[in-house]
């Protein structure tokens, strides 16, 4: 039940490779279903820089929120009272974001 609640009411955070294909289609489908979508812009890439730029613009115009991995991490912590607010974030979710950023940079020099 908790998973269903989370799935129905919490915003989706999306990141990945090929912003203009997989990421964009997922985003647009979720927006069409009435979901709140946050695109982690520094963890999204495409082979061509203009494909990434156009996809980010389209998703933003469609209603998605563009944010950064650091901003998303602090948003997930919800408060300055969180144990990792002032230090390095060690949670697995944030480590995944960091690895995706590195992979994007290696593959597409973004």
Is 62 among the domain residues? yes
Q: Are 34 and 60 in contact (CB under 8 A)?
A: no
What is the arithmetic mean of pLDDT over 73-88?
62
- Coil, helix or strand for 79? coil
CA end-to-end span of the chain, whole Å? 39
How does pLDDT run across 1-40, given as a tens digit for each residue?
Answer: 344 444 455 688 888 888 899 999 999 999 999 999 999 9
Is 48 among the domain residues? yes
Is 38 among the domain residues? yes
Count: domains in the chain: 1
Q: Which domain holds residue 23?
A: 11-108
* Sheet containing 37-45, strands listed edge to edge, beginning at the edge strand earlier in sequence: 12-17, 37-45, 65-67
Is 103 among the domain residues? yes
In this prediction the pTM is 0.68
pLDDT of residue 33: 92
Is 51 among the domain residues? yes
| Mean per-residue pLDDT of the chain | 76
Whole-angstrom distance, CA of residue 71 vs CA of residue 73 = 5
pLDDT of residue 69: 81
pLDDT of residue 50: 94
CATH number at residue 79: 3.40.50.850
Q: Read off φ and ψ for residue 73, nearest 5 degrees.
A: -60, -45
Q: Evaluate if residue 72 carries a pLDDT over 90.
A: no
Is 49 among the domain residues? yes
Is 77 among the domain residues? yes
Is 73 among the domain residues? yes
Whole-angstrom distance, CA of residue 42 vs CA of residue 23 = 13
Nearest to 49, CA basis, from 107, 106, 108 = 108
């Amino acid at each position: 039940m908790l998973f269903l609640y989370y799935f129905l009411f919490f915003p989706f955070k999306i990141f990945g490779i090929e912003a203009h294909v997989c990421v964009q289609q997922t985003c647009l489908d979720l927006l069409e279903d009435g979901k709140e979508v946050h695109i982690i812009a520094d963890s999204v890439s495409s082979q061509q820089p203009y494909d990434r730029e156009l996809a980010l613009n389209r998703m933003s115009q469609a209603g998605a929120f563009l944010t950064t991995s650091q901003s998303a991490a602090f948003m997930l912590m919800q408060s300055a009272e969180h144990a990792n607010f002032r230090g390095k974030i060690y949670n697995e979710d944030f480590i995944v974001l960091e690895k995706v950023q590195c992979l994007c940079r290696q593959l597409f020099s973004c």
